[in-house]
Amino acid sequence: MIFTLILGFVLLLIGIYGMLSQRNLIKIIIGFSIADTGIHIIIVSIGYLRNRTAPILNSAVDISKAVQQVVDPIPSALVLTAIVIGLAVTALMLSFVVELYKKRKSLSIDDYQELKW
Amino acid sequence: MIKKTLVLIAIVGLLMVFWPLMSNFEFSQNLSELASNYVRGSVNELNTQNVVTSVIVTYRGLDTLGEVTVLFLATVGIGFLLGKRKGKKRPASELLQTTSSFLFALIVLFGVYIFTHGHLTPGGGFQGGVVIATAFLLLMLSDVNMKFNHTILQIVESFSGAFYIVIGIVGLVLTIGFLSAEIIPLGEFGKLISAGAIPIIYSFIGLKVGSELTNIIDTMRGE
Amino acid sequence: MISVIMIVVLGVIMIVAGIIALHLKNLLAAIITAGTISLLASVIYLILGSPDVAMTEASIGSGLTTIIFLYALNKVQKEDKND
């Protein structure tokens, strides 16, 4: 569906803008999670086919004609995997933030400049 | 000021990259050859109602194994970064304490239902594991000074991971294929005991994901 | 038709929530707003015909991710009090 594709791209751009423009470390991770949601919506909407049901072959679907009645199952499987990994990566990033805060007592990314150039 | 301009230029550049992709995108009217094969195979080869489950557990089983490994590595990383700390907090309200002791068993039961019915209804190991982790989160919220026995969590986690790989290797020994579902008779289409090894593999994934996420939450909570 | 209207309304709410989440000065409110985006995204997955993804997003994306963000924020603020 074209609307969800546009929505996904807009969320991706908002997330990237947040990652680039924010100075607070937790805000940067929030931007990352928004971009993550946007990418998932893009992938799922590519697999959508008009007037079809979910890829679950119960009594609602005529099994002999299942290929003409269900949406694409592969993007669903990919996104399912990506969401779980997204959680793990977000948790790892947040634990890095907590460790950094213990060292420098600051959440601003401007305070973490070891190099001049 | 320079930074803001650079950020805006980057966003406009990305927009220009994505725009042709979006405006010229053509939605297909039919399933691709690969997806059609998966849907047909799910009925004819695996007796699985939920096609997404058969893709995750069997057709792309190796990817799922890699994903579980990534989850495990992230758990290890978080445990390594955040050591244990001491500190007392104020106890939770009585309402939360009473409700959570009543709801805990029900939520765990619901999680087990989700991952044992993964081949019939929406859901599966990952969702069921998350629901189980939520039950433990409720316990943590109701009793703030509670200590978890990490040894049990680690035993559950490592044994379910090991059995997952053992099932995969059994498929190799029987020369069917790594992580194949056909090592067990496939049963009748649409029944609870069907789809060969898929419910067993998904239950192990559910236990593994549940114990890993509980571990992550407990580490992030800090003792 | 009804699904298109739902997607447009939900999409506008999600985009506004995304912009608000990046502009709020209060970190707690920003985290909750970002959780709302995931919750509404799960409804969109349901309309797009993938209930498996909707379940995962509702439980992981809006539930556990928000909880982990809040615990991390709590840890950072506790560090402040200790000194």
Domain extent for A28: 2-111
pLDDT recorded at residue B89:
66
Categorize the per-residue pLDDT at B176 as very low, low, confident or very high, splitting at 50, 70 and 90. Answer: confident
Average pLDDT over residues C42-50: 89
Categorize the per-residue pLDDT at B88 as very low, low, confident or very high, splitting at 50, 70 and 90. Answer: low
Residue B223 has pLDDT above 60, yes or no: no
Domain extent for C65: 2-82
Among A103-107, B48-52, B189-193, B199-203, name the one with the lowest average pLDDT: B189-193
Neighbours of chain A (3+ CB pairs under 8 A): B, C
pLDDT recorded at residue C16:
92
Distance CA C69, CA B172 (A): 42
pLDDT recorded at residue B125:
83
pLDDT recorded at residue A62:
75
Highest mean pLDDT among A103-107, B31-35, B64-68: B64-68
pLDDT recorded at residue A117:
60
Q: Does the CB of A97 have a partner CB in chain C at under 8 Å?
A: yes
Neighbours of chain B (3+ CB pairs under 8 A): A, C
- Give the residue, C81 or C53, on which the prediction is more confident: C53
Say whether A110 sits in a helix, a strand or coil: helix
Average pLDDT over residues B107-121: 86
Categorize the per-residue pLDDT at A40 as very low, low, confident or very high, splitting at 50, 70 and 90. Answer: very high
CATH number for the domain harbouring residue A71: 1.10.287.3510
Residues 6+ apart with CB under 8 A from B181: B46, B48, B54, B57, B58, B195, B196, B197, B198, B201
The answer to whether residues A84 and C60 touch, using CB atoms and an 8 Å cutoff, is: yes
Q: Does residue A117 fall inside a structural domain? A: no
Q: Does the CB of C64 have a partner CB in chain B at under 8 Å?
A: yes
Q: Which tens digit of pLDDT belongs to each residue from A59-109?
A: 777 777 777 788 888 888 889 888 888 888 898 898 888 888 888 888 888
Distance CA C56, CA B128 (A): 9
Q: Does the CB of A8 have a partner CB in chain C at under 8 Å?
A: no
The answer to whether residues B6 and A16 touch, using CB atoms and an 8 Å cutoff, is: no
Nearest Cα residue in chain C from A6: C11
Which tokens hold the place of A22? Answer: 């924010």
Query: Shortest CB distance from B78 goes to which of A68, A80, A95?
Result: A95
pLDDT recorded at residue A31:
92
The single-letter code of the amino acid at B10 is: A
Q: Does the CB of A16 have a partner CB in chain C at under 8 Å?
A: no
pLDDT recorded at residue C13:
92
Which tokens hold the place of B177? Answer: 């294929």
Query: Shortest CB distance from B35 goes to which of A6, A72, A85?
Result: A72
Provide the chain A residues 34-93 that lie in CB contact (below 8 A) with chain C.
Answer: 34, 37, 40-41, 44-45, 47-48, 52-56, 70-71, 75-76, 79-80, 83-84, 86-87, 90-91
- Cβ–Cβ below 8 Å for A66 and B39: yes
| Interface predicted TM-score (ipTM) of this complex, two decimals | 0.88
- Cβ–Cβ below 8 Å for B77 and A16: no
Domain count for chain C, please give it. 1
Residues 6+ apart with CB under 8 A from A47: A71, A72, A73, A74, A75, A76, C48, C50
pLDDT recorded at residue C83:
60
